[in-house]
Homo-oligomer: A and B are copies of this chain.
Amino acid sequence: MENLQNKKESILESALVLINEQGFHGCPVSKVAKNAGVAAGSIYTYFDSKEELIMGVFEYVSEKIKEYVSSKDDESMEYEIRFFNYWKNYTEYFELNPAHHGFYDQFVNSPFHSENSQLKPNGWHEWANQFFQSGIDSGAIKYINPTVLAILVNSNINSVVRIKNNFKNRFAEKNVNLEEISSLIWEGIRNK
Interface on A for B, CB 8 Å cutoff? 20-26, 105-106, 109-112, 114, 142-145, 147-149, 151-152, 155-156, 158-160, 162-163, 166-167, 171, 174-176, 180-181, 184-185, 187-188
Contact = CB atoms under 8 A, between A and B. Distances in A.
A111 B21 contact: yes
Contacts of A149: 176
A26 B111 contact: yes
Contact of A187 (B152, B156, B184): B184
Nearest to A171: B145
B111 A23 contact: yes
B151 A174 contact: no
A155 B159 contact: yes
A110 B23 contact: yes
A22 to B, nearest CB: 6
A149 B176 CA distance: 8
Given A151-B159, A155-B159, A144 B175 contact: yes
27 contacts: A23-B24, A23-B110, A23-B112, A24-B24, A25-B25, A26-B111, A105-B109, A106-B106, A106-B109, A109-B109, A114-B166, A142-B176, A144-B176, A147-B167, A148-B163, A148-B167, A148-B175, A151-B159, A151-B162, A152-B160, A152-B163, A152-B181, A155-B156, A156-B156, A184-B185, A184-B187, A184-B188
